Amino acid sequence: MEIILGKMGEVVLKGQNRRQFENRLLSTLRHRLRRYGAFNVYAMQSTVYVEPVSEDADGEMAFEITRRLFGLAAVSRAYSCAKNVDDISRTAIDRLSPSLGAAASFKVETRRSDKAFPMTSPEISREVGGRIAEAFPALRVDVKTPAVTVYVEVRDRAAYVHTDPTPGAGGLPQGTAGRAAIMLSGGIDSPVAAYMMAKRGLELEGIHFFSYPYTSERAKDKVLRLASILAGHTGYLPVHVVPFTAVQERIRDRCPEEYFTIIMRRSMMRIACAVAERNECRALVTGESLGQVASQTLAALAVTEEAASMPVFRPCIGLDKEEIVTISRRIGAFETSILPYEDCCTVFTPRHPRTKPRLADVLEVEKAAELEELEAEAIAAVERVKTEPLLEL
């Protein structure tokens, strides 16, 4: 039978709390697999097992979901068989023939966690390797740089055979670190920031600032699509859409132009904190990278964060644009992120923004703008939008 094996990563280091992390990992995986058929999902010896138990079980989608699951370091398509050398060898020859038949060299690596099995790991590898060599005469043994490695795992319930594993998502299971709100702008950086913090175990809720008619419905749809792409990695990710037009127009009308961006960012922080607290989030996540634009200088970031009432996480802060783009491509968000629809951060952009603002000056300008009532109205009018995970094989 073909099954999926997932090797736990960081989770195994959690000591007395390990069971809590394992249970969260398993419950998340079971929930995400439900729409793709019936699977038996369980964990033994730092390994997650995903076994199809219905004819309509979609193994391809199950593998893709397991590969994206935070908490697993590696994922393999494996074949289970009886715990004896004959069945192990037969399974390797029959099931792995496409890989073995196309390769020039191979080796066998065995892990025998069932110590009651009568042969040692090296003995199993030699015996299985010899039978594979007989079945595929063109193959040569290469223990240092093989084209294909056949992995044999002898465990308590059965033996398992597979070739090289696929890297898993790593990190910690969803929700084990708490809940935070990600400020999704629609650009390249914020989805990457969301992915990076979800990988550290955060459950996320999105917040998007929408300034119609200065930003279009297509811009909002773009953000919702990005949330769906992220949900394919992070699980359920609702987006709270904040109507921000009135606030931005007030800033335009009452603030000096060079302060537009910094005052806007501070207003966004206050509104985002209120929305986050209302949804039991304990931190904000942003996609800011130090020095990337005028609002992300050290001085500007300090003045912006002063308006926040909770911790602000910036996982992209030390990354350059090329590094951020690489992650964006890997998680499938890049092509959507570069669609040419404006977001609210580009509305009323000053020609010469302040890169070294002083907090006292900003507070004086902000007080004159009288934003409190408009911000409260924006918070009251937030629209919560559900998104469905977008999974592409």
Task: Write down the mean pLDDT value for the chain.
Answer: 93
Whether 188 and 141 share a structural domain: no
Residue-wise pLDDT tens digits, 226-281: 999 999 999 889 999 999 999 999 999 999 999 999 999 999 999 999 999 999 99
Residue 393 has pLDDT above 60, yes or no: no
Is there a domain that residue 392 lies in?
Answer: no
Q: Which of 181, 236, 180, 191 lies closest to 343 in space, CA to CA?
A: 191
Is there a domain that residue 65 lies in?
Answer: yes
Is there a domain that residue 88 lies in?
Answer: yes
Q: What angle do CA 177, 183, 184 make, to 5 degrees?
A: 115
Whether 92 and 118 share a structural domain: yes
Last residue in a domain, options 167, 189, 207: 167
Which residues, listed in sequence order, are joined to residue 7 by a DSSP beta bridge? Answer: 47, 74
Cα maximum dimension of the chain: 85
Rounded Cα distance, 224 and 235, in Å: 14
Residue 320 has pLDDT above 70, yes or no: yes
Helix, strand or coil for residue 39?
strand
Q: How many domains, in total, are found in the chain?
A: 2
Q: Which of 180, 269, 248, 187 lies closest to 223 in space, CA to CA?
A: 187
Rounded Cα distance, 166 and 179, in Å: 29
Expressed as residue numbers, the domain containing 82 is: 2-167
Helix, strand or coil for residue 332?
coil
Whether 100 and 182 share a structural domain: no
Those residues whose C-beta lies under 8 Å from the C-beta of residue 12, and which sit 6 or more positions away, are 18, 46
Is there a domain that residue 393 lies in?
Answer: no
- Cβ distance 73 to 168 under 8 Å? yes
Residue-wise pLDDT tens digits, 168-183: 999 999 999 999 999 9
Last residue in a domain, options 124, 147, 167: 167
74-96: average pLDDT: 95
Give the pLDDT band (50/70/90) at residue 392. low
pLDDT given for residue 295 in this prediction: 84
Those residues whose C-beta lies under 8 Å from the C-beta of residue 44, and which sit 6 or more positions away, are 155, 156, 157
Whether 132 and 207 share a structural domain: no
Bond before 137 cis per omega within 30 degrees = no
Whether 27 and 147 share a structural domain: yes
Phi, psi for residue 53 in degrees, rounded to 5 = -125, 10
Is there a domain that residue 41 lies in?
Answer: yes
pLDDT given for residue 348 in this prediction: 73
Is there a domain that residue 391 lies in?
Answer: no
* Amino acid sitting at position 307: A
CATH number of the CATH domain containing 115:
3.30.2130.30
Residue 350 has pLDDT above 80, yes or no: no
Residue-wise pLDDT tens digits, 158-171: 999 999 999 999 99
Ordered DSSP codes for 273-314: HHHHHHTT---EE----TTSSGGGSHHHHHHHHTT-SS-EE-
Burial of 142 per CB tally in 10 Å (0-12, 13-18, 19+): middle
Which residues, listed in sequence order, are joined to residue 44 by a DSSP beta bridge? Answer: 47
Q: Which of 232, 236, 237, 77 lies closest to 169 in space, CA to CA?
A: 232
Whether 129 and 254 share a structural domain: no
Whether 197 and 246 share a structural domain: yes
Whether 318 and 240 share a structural domain: yes
Last residue in a domain, options 125, 142, 167: 167
CATH number of the CATH domain containing 237:
3.40.50.620
Whether 139 and 199 share a structural domain: no
Helix then strand then coil, % of the chain, to nearest 5: 45, 20, 35
Rounded Cα distance, 227 and 219, in Å: 13
Q: What is the sign of the dihedral through the CA atoms of 315, 317, 322 and 325? A: positive
Whether 141 and 208 share a structural domain: no
Whether 339 and 246 share a structural domain: yes
Is there a domain that residue 210 lies in?
Answer: yes
Is there a domain that residue 390 lies in?
Answer: no
209-219: average pLDDT: 90
Helix, strand or coil for residue 44?
strand
Whether 125 and 62 share a structural domain: yes
